[in-house]
């Protein structure tokens, strides 16, 4: 699968299928501080990602006034 990462912006290839939580573990990214978007749709930790999916991982950013 094609994985697009932000901060820093980069693209990597990861073999699939695998679940979202397994992908984040492999990449050493904590689930609670990242959003995972598969083919344009936000997905939960137990979603299955296929080898031909495009996955974007975005850090959660919070702020306020």
pLDDT tens digits for 40-54? 999 999 999 999 999
CATH number of 2-59: 3.10.20.30
> What are the residue ranges in the chain where pLDDT is below 70?
63-65
This prediction has a pTM of 0.85
How is the chain split into domains, by residue range? Answer: 2-59
Distances in Å between the alpha carbon of 33 and those of 13, 15, 17, 28, 41?
Answer: 22, 23, 23, 12, 17
């Amino acid at each position: 699968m094609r994985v697009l990462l932000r901060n820093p912006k980069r693209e990597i290839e990861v073999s699939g299928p695998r679940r979202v939580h397994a992908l984040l573990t492999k990449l050493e990214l904590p689930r609670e501080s990242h959003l995972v978007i598969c083919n344009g749709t936000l997905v939960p930790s137990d979603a299955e990602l296929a080898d031909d999916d495009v996955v974007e991982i975005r850090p959660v950013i919070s702020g306020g006034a």
